[in-house]
Structure 1
């Protein structure tokens, strides 16, 4: 029984990571047999993982097939509203509770990220790690759980807003403002800085989506 639970967890994580890294993109069909072969896992845990992902709305039905879900304009707006509030709260709590060691980790992350400015994919991964570190620095397990759910849904976005021209530099500047506020224990400034950061990312994404629609016409 323990091995079965471990396999189920592995299958779930493997598929989730594949969606998050855009190996499987919105609209892609997921087939049990193909996933089992790709990941070297039996079909039973794959089936259970797919059911779990469908329950979490990361997969949806297209007839009898399961496909990676996509977010419409309204869902995207709702997601960013919730993300902005929860991320802002995490920053506010981090300003109160972050240890000197946790702040140093954030500083080290920002320094390392400067070398990734010309690699949007790597910078996007680093950005996720940076945000996760702030979540953990909030020292609120229930908030971290909710933010994990939000970031799972972010995996349904086919591209990263950091890929937009100039967004990488802007992202690092916004990260600096967030950490500076956390460092001095200013919860309100940290909340506002992170909210503004999410708002700018949303504006960039809306522009990218508009450009994609225009290019398709």
Structure 2
């Protein structure tokens, strides 16, 4: 049975999708009346959805502004990538144990398709999300999957994609290839190491991307 968007749960799905897709970017003020008009639902389910989003850290309250889409400062970004490194490493380790031959083949195919996208950062970013989702499913751990999904949603609060950094797209694809090779070899320790290295390198690219953006902002101030 399809859930009505007029319910709190339905409003939550709408707002979550808007944040995840970037149509409600970090820092956006979330006025109940504006959101109700935008999504054509009443303010009550919007209010319920905002409270729920606040519990998972995607919405916060600021003095004189009310509810806003949360932003991640450097400290929170460090924490986010630290946990990503741990959890993505665990997912790769478990995938090396539990992934079926068909799932491993799919991962190989995704890597090969991504080689053609290294000059298209937005397309590669979308494909990157699908790759990690497939990897998480292959790990066969529902609790880990929930934690990784929450982290993925938090990543939507970061501006831009690290895959737009020079040579980062190609490096990321090769890092994915190393993860899949270890999974294919049924090498849990190697898969974990490769996955952790991948997230470590992504974090370095994030620091560089945010630093470059900060520099541009400073020049314009």
Place the TM-score, normalised by the shorter chain, in its bin.
over 0.9
Identify the residue that residue 114 of structure 2 maps to in structure 1: 113
Contact 1:85 1:195 in 2 (8 A): yes
SS at match of 2:7: helix
Work out the CA distance in 2 between the residues paired with 1:38 and 1:200: 39
Name stretches of at least 5 consecutive residues in structure 1 with no aligned partner.
none
After TM superposition, the runs of 4+ consecutive aligned structure 1 residues lying more than 4 A away are 2-6
RMSD: 1.8
Identify the residue that residue 33 of structure 1 maps to in structure 2: 33
> Which aligned pairs between 1:93-132 and structure 2 lie closer than 5 A?
93-132=94-133
Name stretches of at least 5 consecutive residues in structure 2 with no aligned partner.
none
Shift of 1:42: 3.1
Work out the CA distance in 2 between the residues paired with 1:23 and 1:5: 18
> Which aligned pairs between 1:13-28 and structure 2 lie closer than 5 A?
13-28=13-28
Contact 1:4 1:45 in 2 (8 A): no
Work out the CA distance in 2 between the residues paired with 1:18 and 1:122: 18
Shift of 1:39: 2.8
SS at match of 1:29: coil
Shift of 1:5: 8.3
What do residues 160-184 of structure 1 show as CA deviations (whole Å, max 9, x unaligned)?
Answer: 1111121111111111000010011
Query: When the two structures are superposed, what TM-score results if normalisation uses the length of structure 2?
Result: 0.91
